Amino acid sequence: MKDHYDIAVVHGDGIGPEVCGATVEVLRAALGSSSPLVFSEHPAGADLFVATGESFPEATFSACRAADAILHGAAGIPGIVHPDGTEAGLDFTLRLRFELDLFANIRPIRLFDGVRSPLSAVKAGDIDYIILRENSEGLYAARGAGAQLRGEVAVDTLVQTRRGVERIVRKAFELARAGEGAPADGVKRVTCCDKANVLRSYAFFRSVFDEVARDYPDIEAEHALVDAMAMHLVLRPGHFNVIVTENMFGDILSDLAAATIGGMGLAPSAEVGLSQGLFQAAHGSAPDIAGKGVANPYGTVLSAASMLEWLGGRHDDTRLNDAARRIRQAVGAAMQEGMLSRDLGGINSTVEITQALCSRVAA
C-alpha cells in the first residue's frame, strides 16, 4: 500500500473535460479527505493541435509515463487531422498504448437494471461479459508505418506475434477464471474471435489460443469467426463470458456490444500493461453536445472504478478496492432509480448525475 498515487488526468476534447471532471469529483467523494489519490492535469488532444500544432506534448507523455495511472476523458474532433488524413486527437491514446505497452484493453459489457436494451426480451443480468481486445498489435500497429503510393495504392500491415497473442490469451483465461461465468449457464468460458478461415494471421492467432487453452482445463474454450460473432452478440449475448480478439476486431465488436446495453455512454475501458494503465470510457468526444451539460459520465466513472481495482490489486490497498465497490454500487443504484442521461432516454444532466453519485459513494 502506498501513501499516495499519482493520477495523470488528461481531459482531452469535446465532452472529455465534462465527464473527466465529473469522475474526479466522484473519486474524491468516494475516498474522502484522506484520499491517497493525487491528481495532476495535463494537455493533449485535437483542440491543442489546432492551438499549438502539437497534439501530445512530450511533457504530457513524461507525466503519464511517471504516473501510477492515467485517467482520460475523450479524444479527437472530426475534421482535425494530420496531412495523411488520420485524426490528430488520437495520437494520445495510440502512443500510450504502444510505447507503454498497454497490451490488454478490457471492455466490460453489462446491462444495468433501469436501462432498456434495444434487444427484445433482454433484461438486466442477461448481458454481462468482457471483450478483451489485444491493444498493441493487429492492424493498428501499422499506424504511421503504412504506405500510400501516388494516390493510387494504400497498404497497412496486420501484425501478430507469438508473444503478443499468447499474453492476451492468457489474460483472457485468467479473467474468466476470476469471474462468475456466462449469464446463461454459469460456465467460465473464453471465446477466441478471429477470421482464421481466410487469413493466415488469424489462423496463427487461433493456433496460439489453442496452445494456451490447454493450460486452463477448468475453463471452456471455443472459437467464433468475427462475422458470426457480430450476429451472436445480438442473438445470444448471455452465452459469452470473455471474448478475446485482435485489435481492430475488438474495437468494432465492443461498439456493437455497447449498443446492446444502452450505448457508448455505458462502455468503460481499462488499458493495462504489466506496470501502467490508462482508463477511459470507450466513447468518443461527441463535440455536438460538448458544453451543453448533458454528457453521460457513467462510462468514465466506471472506468475509474476499474482504475481503483487495478491499483488496489497491484498495491494490496483495500481502501481503493472498497471505493471501487461503492462506486459500482452507486452507479447501479442511480440508474435503477431512473437517474439517466439523455442518451439513455432520461432527463438528467451531467451535474445531477455527478451529485447523485457523490452522495451515494461517500465513505
Active site residues per annotation = 140, 195, 227, 251, 255
What is the distance between the alpha carbons of residues 248 and 197, in angstroms, rounded to a whole number? 17
What is the distance between the alpha carbons of residues 277 and 308, in angstroms, rounded to a whole number? 11
What is the distance between the alpha carbons of residues 302 and 108, in angstroms, rounded to a whole number? 10
Task: Please report the sign of the dihedral spanned by the C-alpha atoms of residue 184, residue 233, residue 249, residue 43.
Answer: negative
What is the distance between the alpha carbons of residues 213 and 15, in angstroms, rounded to a whole number? 41
Nearest to 172 by CA among 223, 85, 244: 244
What is the distance between the alpha carbons of residues 97 and 283, in angstroms, rounded to a whole number? 17
Name the pairing type of β-strands 147-149 and 189-194.
unpaired
What is the distance between the alpha carbons of residues 140 and 94, in angstroms, rounded to a whole number? 9
CB-neighbour burial class of residue 318 (10 A; exposed 0-12, middle 13-18, buried 19+) = exposed
Nearest to 290 by CA among 17, 46, 8, 11: 17
In which residue are the cell numbers 502506498 written? 2
φ, ψ of residue 176 to 5 degrees: the values are -65, -40
Three-state SS string across 96-115, please?
HHHHCCCCEEEEEEECCCCC
Bridge partners of residue 277, in order along the sequence:
272
Q: CB count, 10 Å around CB of 218?
A: 8
Element holding 220 (H helix, E strand): strand 220-225
Q: What angle do CA 149, 151, 154 make, to 5 degrees?
A: 55
